[in-house]
A and B are shown apart, each in its own frame.
Chain A
Amino acid sequence: MEKRSVFNSWWLPILFALPQILLILLFFYWPAIAVMKWAFTLEPPFGGAAEFVGLTNFKEVFADPFYWKSVAVSLIFALCGTFFTILVGLVLAIAVDRQLPGSGLFRFLYILPYAIAGPAAGMAFRFILSPERGLMASVNAAFPDFWNPAKYGTHALVLVIVIFAWKWAGYTFIFLLAGLQSVPRSLAEAAAMDGAGPIRRAVDIQVPLLAPTLFFLLVIMMTEGFVGSDTFGIVHSTTGGGPNHGTEVMVFRIVDEAFKGLNYSGASAQSIVLIGLIMIFTFIQFRFIEKRVHYK
């Protein structure tokens, strides 16, 4: 039987938890309640009497075709972003896990991009991949408009997903590498002796055993893709939501409407819809995908 430590008084554990509880109240519940209030009123930016308007804000949001476009863009961004960050992180982790010469250096290098802020990465990539001045300029000179994120929404979306994956692959890499290192060596060694190559071993042994880590990363990256500050930062510093709403992810739209357009109420309504969507996605992930994950 495991030995348990128990608090004898009720106030001591609460005292320990208090800083955390206060932070959550201040930075989560308070804003969330303000958003609820604003979403059903017309909030003047400088405060003052706000008229209760019921569901008008929501109706306006849902009636806007560009809102639905931003939902679609967000979905594509989050799904593709998640897929590629995990894929790249996994491939890198498996490669580094083989402990070939230089693994230590690469482990360090692969984590580095994660230390760079999203907007900074966005700014750098905007120059590197700009269609008329960057690396692709020479390709464009031979094949006009081969790569033009200022013109084609799909190219622009690829651009922001690439930046997102570039940055966050370092993050998934850390988790997956740690996960791989807890996979018993003997399994891989036995498979190797049976003649399984590195890819075979990865697909049949390592990846299935990584399932809990992969599931964790799936949830985290989906949420990050939807509402992460990098998602906004990257879009803001590269395409600015364009061309013609092509990369207008939901968070970008919300921040833009609230702080540039000073439409606090409309943005609040959109925030609530976004929170609802995330709850649904997380529910789906836990309900249907987690069932296939074996923790022990």
Chain B
Amino acid sequence: MKITVLQSVLASLLAATAFGAGPVYAEKTKFEFWYGLSGDLGERVQDACKKFNDMQADYEIICTSQNGYDTTLQNTIAAYRAKKQPAITQIYDAGTLDMMLSGAFVPAKKLMADNGYTIEWANYFGGIANYYATAAGELNSFPFNSSTAMFYYNVDAFQKAGIDFKPETWEQVDEAARKLKAAGFECPLGFNFDTWQMMEQFSAIHNQPIATKGNGYKGLDAELVFNKTKFVDHVKFFKKMADEKLFVVKTKQLGMDIVPAFTSQTCQMIQTSIADHGTIGKSLPEGVKWEVAMLPVWKGTERQNSLVGGASLWVMAGRPEAEYKGAAAFLNFLATPEMAQWWSTVTGYIPVTKTGFDAMKAKGFYDNAPYKGRELAIASLTYTPTSENTRGIRLGGFTQIRKEISTALEAIFMQNADVQAELDQAADRSNAVLRRFEKTYAGQKLN
């Protein structure tokens, strides 16, 4: 607990130095933007900030990476408690409900209306916007870096193993895995214990609930039900395949996570984010043929849209009015079609608006490598209109719930624990998290 206060002190010091840094132009309004992306993606955010600062003379945005999604949320909280919050902060999908109930933000719609910008809200893809919108569909934050899970496979390996079909169903994945194994591939499919692909996306595209009350959208009293849906059978299937060494666990603890396992051609199939599309293309040796596809479904399933992942931009409450003008200008700048295209090109994240996507498609952006295939992410996100089970996940303490489930998966796949018993236990423990969250926010209602 020492760390909280320490962090808040550090955060305020950081804020103070950021404000004090640089030459002072009396006429420019400065405001801060904290983001969680780091490394190459973090550099691209800096580029966006620079473009904004160069383009106009009224505002100056100061962008600071907090090196991680969870630290950005922590630091935002600490800074807010110390009244040193940034004007804009990037919060990941799992932190959405914490932000919504915090009362510490200015809703996106209100901000833009107050500052005289007209945003075509219906222009956002439903599958993306609904994750961050109220139950009534009004956006609280701006979708920024959006992704969804995809299925990657090595076409060269498929040809060598004599597989002449695309892995569209899990039955086909099963068959492909057996053929790959027979052809001498040690790891036909690599997987880890990330619940995002395995549980969240699987449940959405198979129209399975994760929790009651519309995955939490209709009230804080939701209860988890993933231990009673098709997800259980799916885990059992994975377990059976893992026992036959057709599906292989790849985690960083074992030495290599799934993406490097795919790019080093150790594993021939993986499920990961579309945001990895760029990395995979760059890392695989020249000439290796690979494809990206929508996540497989079980045969006979009516496929639904998949869920959006990534993060959105929240405008924090309690800043001077002038900063909001700047924040609105910046967010409006990000939403322009040119910026949307630039952002998607340099990162691999998908465009969040329909016009942005159409413009890119019309220009032939998706026709050739290395960007070919990324349009399938949009196809997956917009496969059907969002429904109760595919709108998103609105559960308190979701980071902890994810951890409970991935720990259960770890026990199942690494230590041979019983599938149903482990998932039941994870659901019970996760429900306790939800109940504590409900009590912490007693009297608050989801809007």
List residues of A whose CB falls within 8 A of some B CB: 26-28, 30-32, 34-35, 38, 42-48, 51, 53, 60, 126-127, 130-134, 137, 148-151, 238-240, 242-245, 254-268, 271
A46 and B77 in contact (CB under 8 A), knowing A240-B253, A243-B253, A259-B70?
yes
Let me know if A242 and B70 touch, CB within 8 A. no
Q: Give chain A residues whose Cβ lies under 8 Å from the Cβ of B98.
A: 45-46, 262
Let me know if B1 and A150 touch, CB within 8 A. no
Within 8 A of A (CB), among B1-50: 1-6, 9
A101 to chain B, nearest CB (A): 40
Q: Is B104 an interface residue (CB 8 A)?
A: yes
Partner of B415, one of A30, A46, A132, A151: A151
Let me know if B255 and A130 touch, CB within 8 A. yes
- Closest 7 CB pairs between A and B? A133-B255, A130-B255, A261-B400, A46-B102, A150-B253, A35-B1, A132-B255
Q: Is B361 an interface residue (CB 8 A)?
A: no
B368 to chain A, nearest CB (A): 35
Q: How far is the CA of A53 from the CA of B436 in the complex (A)?
A: 11
**Mask for B411-441, Cβ within 8 A of A = 1, else 0?**
1001101000000000000001100100111
Q: A28-B2, A150-B253 provided; 12 other pairs, C-beta below 8 A?
A: A32-B2, A34-B1, A46-B98, A48-B103, A126-B253, A130-B254, A240-B253, A244-B411, A244-B417, A255-B3, A263-B397, A266-B436
Q: Give chain A residues whose Cβ lies under 8 Å from the Cβ of B71.
A: 259
A106 to chain B, nearest CB (A): 32
B102 to chain A, nearest CB (A): 4
Partner of A130, one of B6, B73, B253: B253
Q: Give chain A residues whose Cβ lies under 8 Å from the Cβ of B433.
A: 261, 263
Q: Give chain B residues whose Cβ lies under 8 Å from the Cβ of A243.
A: 253, 410-411, 414-415
List residues of B whose CB falls within 8 A of some A CB: 1-6, 9, 70-71, 73-74, 77, 80-81, 98, 101-104, 249, 251-256, 397, 399-400, 403, 407, 410-411, 414-415, 417, 432-433, 436, 439-442
Partner of A47, one of B81, B254, B256, B417: B81
Q: Give chain B residues whose Cβ lies under 8 Å from the Cβ of A150.
A: 249, 251, 253-254, 414
B15 to chain A, nearest CB (A): 17
Q: Give chain B residues whose Cβ lies under 8 Å from the Cβ of A137.
A: 255
Q: How far is the CA of A271 from the CA of B442 in the complex (A)?
A: 24
Let me know if A271 and B1 touch, CB within 8 A. yes
A126 and B400 in contact (CB under 8 A), knowing A46-B104, A259-B74?
no
Q: How far is the CA of A43 from the CA of B440 in the complex (A)?
A: 7
* Most central of A47, A126, A239, A267 by chain B CB within 10 Å: A47
Let me know if A149 and B253 touch, CB within 8 A. yes
Q: Give chain B residues whose Cβ lies under 8 Å from the Cβ of A133.
A: 254-256
Q: Give chain B residues whose Cβ lies under 8 Å from the Cβ of A48.
A: 103
Partner of B410, one of A43, A134, A242: A242
Q: How far is the CA of A44 from the CA of B100 in the complex (A)?
A: 12
Partner of B254, one of A27, A131, A266, A271: A131
Give the residue name and chain of the B residue nearest to A134 (CB). Answer: B255
Q: List 23 A-B contacts (CB under 8 A).
A: A27-B2, A34-B1, A46-B80, A46-B102, A48-B103, A53-B439, A60-B436, A126-B252, A130-B254, A238-B253, A240-B253, A242-B410, A243-B414, A244-B415, A244-B417, A255-B3, A260-B70, A260-B399, A261-B403, A262-B77, A263-B397, A263-B400, A266-B436
Q: How far is the CA of A133 from the CA of B253 in the complex (A)?
A: 10
Give the residue name and chain of the B residue nearest to A271 (CB). Answer: B1
Let me know if A242 and B407 touch, CB within 8 A. yes
Give the residue name and chain of the B residue nearest to A251 (CB). Answer: B3
Give the residue name and chain of the B residue nearest to A46 (CB). Answer: B102
Q: How far is the CA of A20 from the CA of B2 in the complex (A)?
A: 17
Let me know if B255 and A267 touch, CB within 8 A. no
A173 to chain B, nearest CB (A): 28
* Most central of A46, A127, A151 by chain B CB within 10 Å: A46
Give the residue name and chain of the A residue nearest to B409 (CB). Answer: A244
Q: Give chain B residues whose Cβ lies under 8 Å from the Cβ of A265.
A: 440
Give the residue name and chain of the B residue nearest to A148 (CB). Answer: B254
Q: Give chain B residues whose Cβ lies under 8 Å from the Cβ of A240.
A: 253
Q: Give chain A residues whose Cβ lies under 8 Å from the Cβ of B256.
A: 130, 132-133
Let me know if A260 and B410 touch, CB within 8 A. no
Q: Give chain A residues whose Cβ lies under 8 Å from the Cβ of B439.
A: 42, 51, 53
